[in-house]
Structure 1
Amino acid sequence: MALLDLLGFAIGALRGHRLRTALSVAGVAIGIASVLTLTALGEGARRYIVDEFAALGSNLIIVLPGKVETTGGVPFGGVTHDLTLEDHGALARLDRLRRTAPIVVATETLRFQGLGRAVPVLGTTAEYLEIRRLKLASGSFLPPGDSDRAGTEIVLGTRAAQELFRGENPLGQMVRVGPARFHVVGVLAPRGPSVLGFDLDEAAFVPVKTAMRLFNRTSLFRIVAEVRIFADMDQAKAEALALLKERHRAEDVTVYTQDAMVSSFSAILGALTLTLAGIASVSLVVAGVGIMNVMLVSVTERRAEIGLLKALGAAEPQILLAFLAEATILAALGGLLGLAVGAFGVRLLGLIYPDFPAAIPPWAVAASLSLSFLVGVGFGVWPARRATRLDPVAALARR
């Protein structure tokens, strides 16, 4: 039996039961579309977070109070110290660090002429603008100077300025943050939603010393620093950790490098993507069972046809291939349809949420099509082998 004859035989059998064929194809298509859509969501989440970190630069270190990565017990009599402005000043003097910025954060109500809005208020210094690679829409950022300087300047995120001033120019205006009054000196350019703690478009920035007084804080939330040369990241991290260990007389802080955080998040979300794809693949097993049922019914209904083929001299491998071709065609059609539906769904998601970089990775397309082929072959083997074992005389007798 030639290849064209084999395909014609299989397609003719499928066209004779169009509803059954359509349902089997739909089952595979739903499974493939599910795999692709969930994989695209996982890949989109990975890209989104990695891009957010990349926007900050790859040569940053972040110092947090408390020891997160421990390798042993706390020394006898040891205590955990807070991060202070003095710690920030000491870090700023390290040669490998280009810029450092202390951070204090709290949520406060920002008020202007009867309008009020709760926003995250960050106390920091002028270096924060360059470290976070922020841009200004108008005005200026916090004035440069010592972190001990307690000024009354405030810089607003673009959305906070729009909602509070309703189109009016905020520069030069006085706003109230809690009980204190501040002078608006700048507005940030739109940055978009952030997954790194809060939305900077809705934030406000004031001098760190002022923020510590306003929030009644004596410690910092964290310190961020920019390393001069990327190749010195490990040495800069070690020097920062050693300096704070010496100052605190204990290793009671955690120092992260930006590239390590990116790698960790990427690995975690990559594993999540594979998990989602695995969960969605279960639906392909269900579709495969449907194909097997269709093929078993087809073998039962076509016993006389199989008997006639064997009586005319068709070999068992030819009959096996004929029925496997049917199952493979069902799976292939379902795979292609599922690929189209999945791509359309991801495209639609991109139109609804343009900021979310959902994308189907090439490996997911190849894996899905391969899996659909394996489903067709795997679940078609038993019915096909059952057809080859029919006795031609008995099959024709039951015609």
Structure 2
Amino acid sequence: MAPLDLLGFAVGALRGHRLRTALSVAGVAIGIASVLALTALGEGARRYIVDEFASLGSNLVIILPGKVETTGGMPFGGVTHDLTLEDHAALARLGRLRRTVPLAVATETLRFQGLGRSVPVLGTTAEYLEVRRLRMAAGSFLPPGDPHRAGTEIVLGMKAARELFRGENPLGQVLRVGPARFHVVGVLAPRGPSMLGVDLDEAAFVPVGTAMRLFNRTSLFRIVAEVRIFAEMDLAKAEVLALLRERHRAEDVTVFTQDAMVASFSAILGALTLTLAGIASVSLVVAGVGIMNVMLVSVTERRAEIGLLKALGAADPQILLAFLAEATMLAALGGCLGLAAGAAGVRLLAWVYPAFPAAIPLWAVGAALTLSFAVGLGFGVWPARRATRLDPVAALARR
């Protein structure tokens, strides 16, 4: 039998049982579409996390008070020192760091002419604007200078300014933060909601020295440092740890780098993506069982045709290839339809939720199509082998 004869044999069988063929193709298509859709969700989650971390800035080292890693030492007798403005000043003198930013955070109520709004208030310095790659919509950010200075300037996020001032120009206005009075000097350009940390559109920013007094705090929430050269991130982290260990007489801070966090989250979400794809692949196994059942019925119904082919001299490998071609065509057609349906579903998701970067990775497309062919071949082998074992005389006699 020539290859075209094999193809015609398979196509004729499929066209002869259109409903059965359509149901088998639909089963494979649903499986492939499920694999692609869940893979796109996992990949979108990974990209979203990476983009969120990238929006924090670049080449960042974050220092938190307290030691969160588990060690083998006894947990008694240690002293956890505050992370202070003096520590920030010492870190600012390290040559590998371009900028250092202290942060004090609390939730306070902002009041203006009878309107009140509870928002996160961040005490920081002028360098925060550059470290976080922020832009101003109006006015200016906090003035540079001594972090201990108790200034009364305040910068508002776009949403906080809009809800408090209701269309009025907030620049130069006086509002209250708790018991203290502040002058609005600027409004941030909108950033959009963030799943990491504070939504800056709803936040307010005041000088860190003022915030420490206002919040009655002695310890900073954290210090964020920007490293000059990405290749020196690990060296900068080691220098920060060494300096604070010397100042505190103990290793009582936690220091981590931005790229390490991104790598950790990427690895976790990559594993999640593969897990989701594996779960969705179960539906392909179910579709494969359906193909096998269809092929077994086809062998039974076509016993006479198989017997005639063998009587005319068709070899067992040719019979095997004919039925494998039929199973593979079912799987291939289902795979192509599933690919189209999965891509359409992901595009619809991207249209409904444009902020979520759902995308089908190329490896998932290749893996899904390969898996569909494997399902067709794998579940078509047994029926095809049954066809080769038929005795031509017995098959024709039962015609």
TM-score (norm 1): 0.96
What are the ranges of 5 or more consecutive residues in structure 1 without an aligned counterpart? none
Q: What is the match of residue 175 of structure 2?
A: 175
Paired residue type of 2:275: T
Q: What is the match of residue 245 of structure 1?
A: 245
Q: What is the match of residue 295 of structure 1?
A: 295
Q: Please list, as runs of the form range in 1=range in 2, the aligned pairs for 1:271-350 lying within 5 A after superposition.
A: 271-350=271-350
Is 1:146 matched up with 2:138?
Answer: no
Q: What is the match of residue 381 of structure 1?
A: 381
TM-score (norm 2): 0.96
Q: What is the match of residue 206 of structure 2?
A: 206
Q: What is the match of residue 11 of structure 1?
A: 11
Could you tell me how far 1:75 is from its partner in structure 2? 7.3
Could you tell me how far 1:279 is from its partner in structure 2? 1.3
Task: Report runs of 4+ in structure 1 exceeding 4 Å deviation.
Answer: none
Give the secondary structure class of the aligned counterpart of 2:46. Answer: helix
* Percent identical: 88
Q: More displaced, 199-208 or 76-85?
A: 76-85
Give the secondary structure class of the aligned counterpart of 2:154. Answer: strand
Paired residue type of 1:83: L
CA deviations 1:147-206 (Å, max 9, x no partner) are 111222111111222222222211112222233322111111111222221221121111
d(CA) in 2 for partners of 1:373, 1:115: 65
d(CA) in 2 for partners of 1:93, 1:70: 30
d(CA) in 2 for partners of 1:162, 1:75: 49
Q: More displaced, 264-273 or 357-366?
A: 264-273
Paired residue type of 2:225: A
Could you tell me how far 1:76 is from its partner in structure 2? 6.1
Q: Please list, as runs of the form range in 1=range in 2, the aligned pairs for 1:211-230 lying within 5 A after superposition.
A: 211-230=211-230
Could you tell me how far 1:134 is from its partner in structure 2? 0.6
Could you tell me how far 1:31 is from its partner in structure 2? 0.9
d(CA) in 1 for partners of 2:344, 2:118: 40
d(CA) in 2 for partners of 1:273, 1:154: 43
**Aligned residue pair count:** 399
What are the ranges of 5 or more consecutive residues in structure 2 without an aligned counterpart? none
Give the secondary structure class of the aligned counterpart of 2:122. Answer: strand
Root-mean-square deviation (CA, aligned residues, Å) is: 1.6
d(CA) in 2 for partners of 1:74, 1:135: 47
Is 1:101 matched up with 2:91?
Answer: no
Give the secondary structure class of the aligned counterpart of 1:121. Answer: strand
Q: Please list, as runs of the form range in 1=range in 2, the aligned pairs for 1:45-194 lying within 5 A after superposition.
A: 45-74=45-74, 77-194=77-194
d(CA) in 2 for partners of 1:211, 1:181: 12
d(CA) in 1 for partners of 2:168, 2:398: 89
Could you tell me how far 1:322 is from its partner in structure 2? 0.9
The verdict on how the C-alpha distance between 1:114 and 1:397 changes in structure 2, with shifts beyond 3 A counting, is farther
CA deviations 1:3-53 (Å, max 9, x no partner) are 111111111111111111111111111111111111111111111221222
d(CA) in 1 for partners of 2:36, 2:248: 51
Q: More displaced, 206-215 or 40-49?
A: 206-215
